[in-house]
Amino acid sequence: MTTRQWVYRFGGGSAEGSADMKNLLGGKGANLAEMSSLGLPVPPGFTITTELCTAYYDAGEIYPEELSNHVENALAFIEENVGAKFGDPRDPLLISVRSGARVSMPGMMDTVLNLGLNDITVKGLAAKSGDARFAWDSYRRFLQMYGDVVLGVEHDNFEEIIDTQKMMKGAALDTDLGADDWKAVVTGFKERIEDETGNPFPQDPREQLWGAVTAVFGSWQNDRANTYRRLHNIPEDWGTAVNVQAMVFGNMGDDCATGVAFTRDPSDGRNAFYGEYLVNAQGEDVVAGIRTPQHLTVSGKEEHGSDLPAMEEVMPEVFQQLNDVRLKLEKHYRDMQDIEFTVQQNKLWMLQTRSGKRTAKAALKIACDMVDEGLINQKEAISRVDPESLDQLLHPTLDPNATRDLLTRGLPASPGAASGTVVFSSDEAESRTADGEKVILVRIETSPEDIHGMHAAEGILTSRGGMTSHAAVVARGMGRPCVSGAGDLRIDYETQTLTVTGRQISAGDVLTIDGSSGEVMIGEVPTLHPELSGDFATLMAWVDEVRDLKVRTNAENPFDAKTAVDFGAEGIGLCRTEHMFFDAERIVAVREMILAQDEEGRRKALDKILPMQRQDFIELFRIMAGKPVTIRLLDPPLHEFLPHTSEEMQQVAMASGVSVEDLRVRAVELAEANPMLGHRGCRLGVTYPEITEMQARAIFEAAVEASKYADAPVEPEVMIPLVSDKMEFDLLRERIDEVAATVFQETGSEVQYLVGTMIELPRAALCAGEIAEGAEFFSFGTNDLTQTTFGLSRDDTGGLLKEYERRGIFETDPFVTIDVGGVGELVKIGADRGRKTRPGIKLGICGEHGGDPTSVNFCADIGLDYVSCSPFRVPIAKLAAAQAALRLRG
Amino acid sequence: MTTRQWVYRFGGGSAEGSADMKNLLGGKGANLAEMSSLGLPVPPGFTITTELCTAYYDAGEIYPEELSNHVENALAFIEENVGAKFGDPRDPLLISVRSGARVSMPGMMDTVLNLGLNDITVKGLAAKSGDARFAWDSYRRFLQMYGDVVLGVEHDNFEEIIDTQKMMKGAALDTDLGADDWKAVVTGFKERIEDETGNPFPQDPREQLWGAVTAVFGSWQNDRANTYRRLHNIPEDWGTAVNVQAMVFGNMGDDCATGVAFTRDPSDGRNAFYGEYLVNAQGEDVVAGIRTPQHLTVSGKEEHGSDLPAMEEVMPEVFQQLNDVRLKLEKHYRDMQDIEFTVQQNKLWMLQTRSGKRTAKAALKIACDMVDEGLINQKEAISRVDPESLDQLLHPTLDPNATRDLLTRGLPASPGAASGTVVFSSDEAESRTADGEKVILVRIETSPEDIHGMHAAEGILTSRGGMTSHAAVVARGMGRPCVSGAGDLRIDYETQTLTVTGRQISAGDVLTIDGSSGEVMIGEVPTLHPELSGDFATLMAWVDEVRDLKVRTNAENPFDAKTAVDFGAEGIGLCRTEHMFFDAERIVAVREMILAQDEEGRRKALDKILPMQRQDFIELFRIMAGKPVTIRLLDPPLHEFLPHTSEEMQQVAMASGVSVEDLRVRAVELAEANPMLGHRGCRLGVTYPEITEMQARAIFEAAVEASKYADAPVEPEVMIPLVSDKMEFDLLRERIDEVAATVFQETGSEVQYLVGTMIELPRAALCAGEIAEGAEFFSFGTNDLTQTTFGLSRDDTGGLLKEYERRGIFETDPFVTIDVGGVGELVKIGADRGRKTRPGIKLGICGEHGGDPTSVNFCADIGLDYVSCSPFRVPIAKLAAAQAALRLRG
């Protein structure tokens, strides 16, 4: 009977596994095998496969019979390679046991070192190393780790015994304890283990080994690991591997060391060897932070102003070996590596290599440099940069070296850092900015009437509202830093102050906010400004060559539109005309329109709005000449535009000649229990056709006008929102076409245009085949589609969503990353049915998901033509689109 | 080349067509052919097919070349049969031209009589009939009809000329005019036609014929017909047929007559010949209502107290022939017929037969009688009764003979008639009813706090709210008559009065409402009470034998549950536990629960609610023993239970020890912008598990308790509302199962139960496959599903829906009849995916659609197991289910 190979050996210049066997050997095991095959100095060892883990659980936590033979043979291989025997009283082989899943997973058993020591072999180790303190220290370390992670004895137990020993000896540090002290500690440890577990500590090295292996496999199914897997969608049957490896010691004397390094600088990406080491230490000592690690290189030491000697100076030969390893690994892996090493008596041993984590800046530089160096090609460079991380590069950041006086923390609602004087109203924000001042707008929450203040301010701070609150969404759209929902803030508009736990800030004081971290600081903290040329420009040029998805922007005003074009936007995917209605000059006319008793009254008010709306469109068309501009007709329910305060009521009453009392009655009439599901979108156009007519006229007159001056064709795309049925669409399209024909006749010139719809209701997706008979494009409005598919309002369930994420019910906020299983299926249904009716129908997505890399990926999968996102996310969407294109081409 | 047969002849005891060719010949043509074949006396004629209509339009309004030959041949057939020639100056054949589509359609051209008359043939007719007055009268009738419907001359023109002639002659009635008068009128008509159309009236009979035929086909595409077709989903390519038939005259003297009849009494279904006739008249005279029609039978005459002689007396022989025809037609068609006949000089001619319209009561009696008579079988009887019409039979109706003083009209929100003294508050309704008084509860609108008042009242009248307002929905559920949205009412709670256009009603006055018509009357109008035995019981027994769909009811209280069982409900499909929360005794504890600061506080309040909720369930379980009872956990957002008025606030503040100020703060905290999409349903259970635990405990303790006394097993089905994701369901199911296990252990007895979910969100339907892993049943909550699929709130868009229906965008209100294209597809997806995961999963539907016949039909199509509806709609749903089963079996 043939059985599977449960055990893979490595070491001594060869290996049974390789780096591409991560699924079977786990990340750590695969890379140990790879380094071995490369001829790098890797302590010999073997990996028990992830398949064994699965088989073990499938069989009811029983190992296959043949496993112990496989392990024995592999152990013999290590013994032969090292030249020492496991359990040999004179020269014992010591081993480490480590877990290693495909992806690293918190909550699992990590590491047991020095396994193989017992009351007898410890003496052999002492004799062989000539260092009794080292031997007893190693034994106590083993007892401590094994007791904790394998036998489940709380680590306090062990620390308490060490502390007692130190007190008895009047010792301050571990290093003050000698061989006898550690021997006494060992005795204490063994007693405590027996007390706590009811069994003596296992002296048999093989029992120790199987105990550790079983503990690793057991930890795959503990509560923390299960929760983590559920939250991160990691299948249970991936299993974990176990790595068993000969020990090497960095703590056998001053010719020993241990360290971690990156093959390049992970903070800025420079091609400089970067790392730290400790002489005479084990790996855990580096992590524990008791001793200050030293730099590897002289330049590193100088750069960080350290006065401890660099490895380059202390162990020049070993350093040279390490540097050779570094170059070999980079050439082989063609990526920056994060490595661990140990030097035992001047001999270098490599314990780990893996791709290193890096900042966005570093990722960009490394990717570009490696193309220059011929290590990778442009396509690989594209796939090396995390799109989301670009966000860091597009906004000002706080100088990391500056001191900060942290006031409080809110939600990181819109990235970037900004400083300014505190103002509490949008009008003041505008007037102070006009005087050349930089301001931070502080509000309990913002509403559409704050748009001008938000535009004027350097940054926005609110005490209420989540990541998708008005403040957050609008600020992201504008690229303004925003901290929202800083719940500790007590804002008092009357006294013009804000208070946090006793500290009071008044209007005129200076604050700094960091919308990337959610931090709010007192005073001005210096910021660093983004550099959009250089590597960034290089990468984006490569990105533009490979991606298939077009990237447009959501923009209503010339400033945002220009910003987006600078970032490479290929058109406007969503111009929300209602944003144009809130302008102080027009809101009165808009309110007059809403309050009109009849069509005639409405038309009179609409005539006042027409020229303003037309002017907006002319500017947008000129900025976007040669690129499509999708203009969405009025979407929100009318009551959103009604005056709220008594003052506003008075103002509108005077302007419109309607009494305040009538105004109030009308407001009550228009009020809705669930406005999101109310009289809005195309329903307004169906019931008040004159609104649609005015907007269509503004669009077409503007298109004709802009065409006169533009050096490329103007491409208006009229978008009808909230359609649920083909007939609604057809009715409004007919009206729009009529207006277009009239305008073209009046002006004597024609402009090509499209009429399409937002697919933002489940029914629209299901009936997309019929709707596409008349619609020339679809833009999937996944914000609203998510709300209706889940029956979940963004405005009301911010707290609930957090709770759901915490409990692992939702993996991610479905308003941030598209819910592929539900909303995504509807988008796919809509796209498929639309294309079936009208092959080649233009398909896009607008709203928050358009700038989310995972969602962009999904859009590429289902073959949409474009995504549209806020200006500052255009580069992110482009990079994500390029990565998706590369992935889809295989 | 073979061409299609465009023309089908009938008459003379045979026919080329038959009754089953309605699609080709239209309803009228097919039945004329059928009667001919039966040997009944039908004036000979022919039908131009509906296919010709389609071919005519397809060819750009051009007739196929061969058509004129076909028509000439058919005309020759008529001539031969009648023995007169078309256009013969001495003995002209006169014909009628009538439209006849598959279904009768308002707005289309109807009839032209006496075609073939002109200035010459009119003289031949005069000579042949020996009655010049008859001849000129016939000619003027022809001119009038042809001028109006074929030439488009407004009918006022003709009436004006007749009136002038009458004035000149001092004549009061048409019958006072003689031959010369009609001759003068004819001259006037012809002049006016030429004035209006610019062309002389066509004298050529063949030109007249083609003009009339083309007018019929043309009217298939006029605006009114197109609108009607769009509203009723009638495909354009059905086309209309044209019937050309030899004229017979009921107005040639006293041996002539014309009449209409039903083969049974259409108002009560008795097997008695019922009809009216006029001596010496044309059909239009019967309709015009100038002369009082006479009864056919002596018994009919006596029954209606008429002193005009019956046909049975005046023309006994012809009557006997007609009665023979009646019996023959019933035997042949096996259904009550609506017939038209003419007697020309003592010879009977049949002009039309079709199934007759009838009241619900008559439909029921005829169906049952015909089974007794052996004419039809039980299955046919089932298909003969319109399910919706049963509603008339289940509620009290106004005595049709009673006089009424109509006050105003509202919406027919819940059927049935009721009288009582007016009260303006629910508390008063309750207290007055307790004193033995019958009351009508009058409110501007109702809220959940009016439940007790609505229960106490005989009927409910509101001035605001549509067919799906709170008042309407709750009243229908309770079977209380309700008129809602009577917008003319001015209700003044302070003065305790209501006013309509100057008439004032005070508290204590008596009103009668008719919830089937929407009428509101002053004073008491006597009502007739429903009879649920007899034919009704017979039919329902047959229905129960054939249907596959089970029918359950939506009920929360013992009264409704018992009512539903009396109507044959097979369980409870939806028990909305929140309805139990509004009871005056418990609302305080409920509010305490909501206001609690922490879990402990909530648990304390929940402990008070537990015994009350348990008691409710015990009663329901006992009434429904042996039948499943689906209990839905708390669904609406918590803020719905908060106190609204200051008085209520005070009351809760006192009971809970929380200040009114804190109460207001909490109310603001809980307020939601879109509560329909807010923190409700299973989301409450996820965040406040203790509520779910209390409800589960109440259910299982009640089930155990009720099992002790019930003579059949108690079958609780716990339903988790508003699930959007498998994990939400699993989380709550786990909790419910734990409580069940605990209760069973505590009590030492077990009850079988199921746990399932409502599929009421698009995402739940899409993810039904995963949800079904844990859910044992699905109940499709199509109210909420319709809201989210359309993005349309029932509360906010009543007016909009009406507007949409008016414009033909929605064929029917999607909250009344399920939207098959959108919501229906999601239900089907949910059912299919659910069954794929869990074959045999129990599937049902609850909510308003469960009692709508068209929707029930859909449920049968997709193979659901049951529907659930309000108690009074149980018989309707059962009948619809039986009809669907018969249809599906072919």
Cα B565 from Cα B835, distance rounded (Å): 29
Contacts of B832 (CB under 8 A, 6+ apart): none
Cα A133 from Cα A178, distance rounded (Å): 6
Cα A162 from Cα A153, distance rounded (Å): 15
pLDDT computed for residue B289 by the predictor: 63
C-alpha pair distances (Å), B31 with each of B14, B15, B21, B25, B37: 12, 10, 9, 9, 10
Structure tokens at B137: 């009268």
* A846 among known catalytic residues: yes
- B803 to chain A, minimum CA–CA distance in Å? 8
Cα B242 from Cα B331, distance rounded (Å): 28
| Residues on chain B touching A731 (C-beta within 8 angstroms) | 807, 809
Contact by Cβ (8 Å): A110, A148: no
CA nearest B680 in A: which residue? A792
CA nearest B760 in A: which residue? A791
How many interface pairs between A and B have CB atoms less than 8 angstroms apart?
A: 160
pLDDT computed for residue A666 by the predictor: 79
Contacts of A188 (CB under 8 A, 6+ apart): A161, A164, A165
3-state secondary structure of B812: coil
C-alpha pair distances (Å), A345 with each of A130, A227, A254, A257, A260: 13, 43, 8, 8, 18
Q: Where does A427-580 show beta strands of DSSP type E?
A: 439-443, 459-462, 482-484, 490-492, 497-500, 503-506, 510-514, 519-522, 527-528, 550-554, 572-576
B791 with A731: Cβ contact below 8 A: no
CA nearest A724 in B: which residue? B790
pLDDT single digits (tens) B66-108: 999 999 999 999 999 999 999 999 999 999 999 999 887 777 7
Contact by Cβ (8 Å): B306, B295: yes
Q: Which of B679, B686, B761 sits opposite A790 (nearest CB)?
A: B761
C-alpha pair distances (Å), A796 with each of A179, A636, A789: 65, 17, 16
**Of chain B residues 582-621, which have a CB less than 8 A from chain A?**
none
A679 with B792: Cβ contact below 8 A: no
pLDDT single digits (tens) B429-465: 988 988 889 999 999 988 877 888 998 899 999 988 7
Best of B766, B800, B832 to substitute, by most chain A Cβ atoms within 10 angstroms, is: B766
pLDDT computed for residue B288 by the predictor: 64
pLDDT single digits (tens) B732-775: 999 999 999 999 999 999 999 999 999 999 999 999 999 999 99
Q: Which of B677, B724, B823 sits opposite A796 (nearest CB)?
A: B677
3-state secondary structure of A519: strand
pLDDT single digits (tens) B573-589: 999 998 888 777 788 88
Structure tokens at A548: 């298939």
Give residue B290's pLDDT band: very low, low, confident or very high (50, 70, 90). Answer: low
Average pLDDT over residues B125-133: 93
Give residue B660's pLDDT band: very low, low, confident or very high (50, 70, 90). Answer: confident
Q: Which of B295, B395, B455, B470 does the annotation list as catalytic? A: B470
pLDDT single digits (tens) A751-767: 999 999 999 999 999 99
Low-confidence ranges of chain A (pLDDT < 70): 1-2, 231, 286-290, 468
pLDDT computed for residue A468 by the predictor: 66
| Residues on chain B touching A806 (C-beta within 8 angstroms) | none
**In DSSP terms, which residues pair with A718 in a beta bridge?**
A631, A755
Question: Is the pLDDT at B856 greater than 50, yes or no?
Answer: yes
pLDDT computed for residue B22 by the predictor: 94
Contact by Cβ (8 Å): A704, A742: no
Structure tokens at A655: 């302007």
Buried b (16+ CB within 10 A) or exposed e, B833-850: bbbeebeebbbbbbbbbb
Cα A8 from Cα B210, distance rounded (Å): 96
Contact by Cβ (8 Å): A573, A552: yes
Give residue B819's pLDDT band: very low, low, confident or very high (50, 70, 90). Answer: very high
Comparing CA positions, the residue from A554, A232, A519, A539 lying closest to residue A387 is A539
Comparing CA positions, the residue from B356, B355, B367 lying closest to residue B534 is B367
* A470 among known catalytic residues: yes
pLDDT computed for residue A289 by the predictor: 63
Q: Where are the alpha helices (DSSP H) in A756-837?
A: 762-766, 768-771, 782-790, 798-806, 825-837
Average pLDDT over residues B474-495: 87
Contact by Cβ (8 Å): A594, A578: no
Contacts of A545 (CB under 8 A, 6+ apart): A378
| Residues on chain B touching A829 (C-beta within 8 angstroms) | none
- CB contact, 8 Å: A120 with chain B? no
Contacts of B622 (CB under 8 A, 6+ apart): B706, B709, B710
Q: Which of B846, B849, B859, B869 does the annotation list as catalytic? A: B846
Q: Which residue type occupies B601?
A: G
3-state secondary structure of B608: helix
The more confident residue out of A796 and B820 is: B820
> In angstroms, how far is CA A326 from the centroid of its own chain?
29
- B29 to chain A, minimum CA–CA distance in Å? 35
Contact by Cβ (8 Å): A540, A568: yes
Asked casually if ipTM beats, i.e. exceeds, 0.95, the reply is no
- A557 to chain B, minimum CA–CA distance in Å? 28
Comparing CA positions, the residue from A692, A697, A688 lying closest to residue A741 is A697
- CB contact, 8 Å: B725 with chain A? yes
B809 with A727: Cβ contact below 8 A: yes
Cα A47 from Cα A29, distance rounded (Å): 6
- CB contact, 8 Å: A808 with chain B? yes
Cα B819 from Cα A354, distance rounded (Å): 56
- CB contact, 8 Å: B729 with chain A? no
pLDDT computed for residue A285 by the predictor: 74
Cα B266 from Cα A501, distance rounded (Å): 83
Give residue B287's pLDDT band: very low, low, confident or very high (50, 70, 90). Answer: low
**Of chain B residues 840-879, which have a CB less than 8 A from chain A?**
none
pLDDT computed for residue B1 by the predictor: 44
- CB contact, 8 Å: B826 with chain A? yes
B676 with A678: Cβ contact below 8 A: no
- CB contact, 8 Å: B722 with chain A? yes
Contact by Cβ (8 Å): A459, A525: no
- Residue B284, CB-side half-sphere exposure with 13 Å CA sphere: 11
pLDDT computed for residue B669 by the predictor: 78
Contact by Cβ (8 Å): B871, B849: no
Cα A633 from Cα A161, distance rounded (Å): 74
